[in-house]
Amino acid sequence: MHEYGLCEGVLDAVRRRANGRRVARIRVRFGVRHAVDEESLAQAFGFVAEGTEAAGAAVDLVTVPATITCRDCGLAEETTDVLAVCPRCAGEDVEITGGDEMTLESITYEPAPAR
Ligand SMILES: [Zn+2]
């Protein structure tokens, strides 16, 4: 599962920002080209975050679309499917751009424990 590798990068970013605060929830944006599945991502993140301030955090995934451009019919539209053929003319002379970003959008922290 390639989600594990991605999650290590996410966890690094989370820990740099959290700076020791307990993390309740994170929201990440992955381009559709990373082909990340929310359930696998949450599972993998739970695994890599074990023993850190982000252990047990909920993971929200936002999938960022790519743009498909067709040189045959001129179609240019956003897609969340990484298609190898044009959805309009079924031509194969298509180019997929974007959809490869990976961003930690936000972090929600646990309330500070009362002492
Ligand atoms: Zn086309």
Q: Give the Å distance between the CA of 67 and the centre of ligand 1.
A: 13
Instruction: Label residue 22 exposed, middle or buried (CB < 10 Å: 0-12, 13-18, 19+).
Output: middle
Measured in Å, residue 93 CA sits from the centre of ligand 1 at 8
Helix 38-48, helix 3-18: angle, nearest 10: 60
CA distances from 50 to 22, 41, 42, 45 (A): 12, 14, 12, 8
Cα–ligand 1 centroid distance for 71 (angstroms): 7
- What spacing in Å lies between the alpha carbon of 69 and ligand 1's midpoint? 8
3-state secondary structure of 16: helix
Q: Quote the ligand 1 centre to 81 CA distance (angstroms).
A: 15
Q: What is the pLDDT of residue 31?
A: 93
Q: What is the mean pLDDT of the chain?
A: 92
Torsion of CA 90, 91, 93, 98, to 10 degrees: -20
What pTM did the predictor assign?
0.81
**Which residue ranges of the chain lie beneath pLDDT 50?**
none
